[in-house]
């Protein structure tokens, strides 16, 4: 019954415009629905990532950093494996190239093994409100490492972003006493900043193949868990005295290392532009301070807030500079 009506409408001039208008309306509705879903996934990602600093600190009350990494890494490997099975079926590993498997031996060492060994130790030594903002400088570290490793030029704007961000780290690590240069915990600060180097290296070398990012992350965690299992007996034991520590590690494995990554990829895929959801990530460190105050019980220092603002200003400037440079390069190409 509908087909003859459509045919008559198309045969008339008015009908053509009617069909086009209906088509545009449906597309707009679909785009609006997808964008709404993108905001929901991005908001969920930001909310979850905002809790992880608190989760790290609370879990470290019941187990040491290496134990926390071991149990969270096992959990994340299982979660990512299930996601890969859901996305690609039981034979997803057969499509992976040998070069990808070999690269995972290196990438799995960087992340999760080395990165989280360093980061969790930093959280063990520092208040969460200090370790978390310092870790956010990885974007600035990435810009610095891109100069020698990717042969990228650094602009005056990027230099400004670096200076602003690292002035923020100085404010946080000295708790506002920047002229006295008395660091709250020099080893913890050094570890937090070193973790950004490891993460930036992982980010640079992780972008060199076109494998599904979820499959790639699963392989990295599978290999990394092997490294962690070998490493753990040298520094601690597998036995955990309090089950709350295991519960915390499972939470970290599921959300910090697992499904949240897929939520973020989904948000980026559904969004009309990356910027529409990408900017939401800048809310995470500030929400994290609220959660740290509520759940961890830390009194938030004014120096932490000021330092975090400086770090995020630098990161935003750096991100926009990188985006504009990429657009120029595409136009030239």
Angstrom distance (rounded) from CA 127 to CA 242 = 22
The per-residue pLDDT for range 71-111, each reduced to its tens digit, is 999 999 999 999 999 888 887 777 788 888 899 999 999 99
The token duo for 311 is 């770090």
Q: What percent of the chain has pLDDT over 70?
A: 85
Helix then strand count (H, E) for the chain reads 16, 0
The token duo for 86 is 């859901």
Quote the pLDDT of residue 28. Answer: 56
Residue 26 belongs to some domain of the structure: no
In the predicted model, is pLDDT for residue 316 greater than 70?
Answer: yes
Quote the pLDDT of residue 10. Answer: 45
- At residue 299 the predicted structure's pLDDT band, cuts being 50, 70 and 90, is very high
Give the number of domains in the chain. 1
SS3 24: helix
In the predicted model, is pLDDT for residue 50 greater than 60?
Answer: yes
Angstrom distance (rounded) from CA 219 to CA 56 = 24
In the predicted model, is pLDDT for residue 18 greater than 80?
Answer: no
- At residue 9 the predicted structure's pLDDT band, cuts being 50, 70 and 90, is very low
- At residue 30 the predicted structure's pLDDT band, cuts being 50, 70 and 90, is low
**Can you give the pTM of this predicted structure?**
0.85
Q: What number is the average pLDDT over the span 163-169?
A: 90
- Identify the domain containing residue 95 by its residue range: 41-332
Residue 170 belongs to some domain of the structure: yes
Residue 258 belongs to some domain of the structure: yes
Q: What number is the average pLDDT over the span 233-248?
A: 95
Q: Please, are residues 31 and 272 in contact by the beta-carbon 8 Å criterion?
A: yes
Supply the DSSP string of 55-88, one letter for each residue.
HHHHHTTTS-HHHHHHHHHHHHHHHHHHHHHHHH
Quote the pLDDT of residue 5. Answer: 44
Q: Please, are residues 68 and 119 in contact by the beta-carbon 8 Å criterion?
A: no
Residue 22 belongs to some domain of the structure: no
Distance of alpha carbon 177 from the chain centroid: 31
Quote the pLDDT of residue 13. Answer: 53
The token duo for 321 is 């500079």
Which helix (H) or strand (E) segment holds residue 332: the answer is: helix 302-332
The per-residue pLDDT for range 113-127, each reduced to its tens digit, is 999 999 999 999 999
In the predicted model, is pLDDT for residue 1 greater than 50?
Answer: no
In the predicted model, is pLDDT for residue 190 greater than 90?
Answer: yes
Residue 2 belongs to some domain of the structure: no
Residue 8: half-sphere exposure toward Cβ, Cα within 13 Å: 5
Break the chain down into helix, strand, coil percent, rounded to 5: 85, 0, 15
Q: Which residue carries 């559904």 as its tokens?
A: 270
Q: Please, are residues 62 and 126 in contact by the beta-carbon 8 Å criterion?
A: no
Q: What number is the average pLDDT over the span 193-201?
A: 95
Residue 136: half-sphere exposure toward Cβ, Cα within 13 Å: 32
Quote the pLDDT of residue 194. Answer: 96
Quote the pLDDT of residue 192. Answer: 95
Torsion of CA 178, 179, 182, 188, to 10 degrees: 30
Quote the pLDDT of residue 7. Answer: 43
Residue 15 belongs to some domain of the structure: no
Q: Please, are residues 208 and 125 in contact by the beta-carbon 8 Å criterion?
A: no
Residue 195 belongs to some domain of the structure: yes
Quote the pLDDT of residue 139. Answer: 84
- At residue 180 the predicted structure's pLDDT band, cuts being 50, 70 and 90, is low
- At residue 48 the predicted structure's pLDDT band, cuts being 50, 70 and 90, is very high
Q: Please, are residues 49 and 256 in contact by the beta-carbon 8 Å criterion?
A: yes
Query: Closest by alpha carbon to 256, among 106, 57, 36?
Result: 57
Residue 248 belongs to some domain of the structure: yes
The per-residue pLDDT for range 139-148, each reduced to its tens digit, is 888 888 988 9
């Amino acid at each position: 019954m509908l087909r003859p009506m459509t045919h008559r409408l198309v045969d008339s001039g008015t009908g053509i415009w009617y069909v086009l208008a209906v088509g545009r309306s449906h597309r707009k509705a679909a785009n609006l629905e997808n964008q709404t879903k993108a905001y929901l996934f991005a908001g969920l990602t930001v909310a979850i990532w905002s809790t992880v600093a608190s989760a790290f600190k609370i879990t470290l009350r019941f187990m040491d950093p290496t134990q926390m990494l071991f149990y969270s890494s096992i959990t994340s490997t299982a979660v990512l494996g299930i996601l890969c099975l859901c996305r690609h079926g039981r034979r997803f590993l057969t499509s992976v190239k040998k070069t990808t498997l070999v690269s995972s031996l290196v990438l799995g060492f960087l992340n999760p093994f080395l990165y989280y060994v360093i980061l969790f130790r930093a959280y063990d030594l520092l208040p969460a409100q200090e370790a978390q903002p310092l870790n956010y400088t990885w974007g600035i570290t990435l810009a610095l490492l891109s100069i020698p490793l990717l042969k990228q030029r650094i602009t005056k704007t990027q230099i400004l972003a670096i200076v602003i961000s690292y002035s923020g780290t100085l404010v946080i690590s000295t708790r506002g006493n920047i002229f006295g240069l008395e660091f709250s915990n020099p080893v913890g600060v050094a570890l937090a900043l070193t973790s950004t180097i490891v993460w930036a290296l992982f980010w640079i070398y992780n972008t060199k193949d076109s494998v599904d990012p979820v499959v790639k992350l699963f392989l990295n965690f599978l290999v990394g868990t092997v490294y962690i299992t070998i490493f753990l007996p040298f520094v601690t034991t597998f036995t955990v005295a309090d089950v709350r520590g295991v519960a915390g590690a499972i939470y970290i494995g599921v959300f910090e290392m697992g499904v949240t990554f897929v939520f973020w990829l989904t948000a980026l895929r559904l969004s009309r532009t990356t910027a529409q959801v990408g900017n939401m990530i800048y809310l995470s460190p500030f929400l994290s301070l609220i959660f740290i105050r509520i759940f961890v019980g830390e009194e938030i220092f004014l120096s932490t807030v000021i330092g975090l603002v400086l770090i995020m200003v630098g990161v935003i400037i750096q991100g926009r500079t990188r985006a504009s440079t990429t657009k120029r390069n595409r136009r030239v190409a």
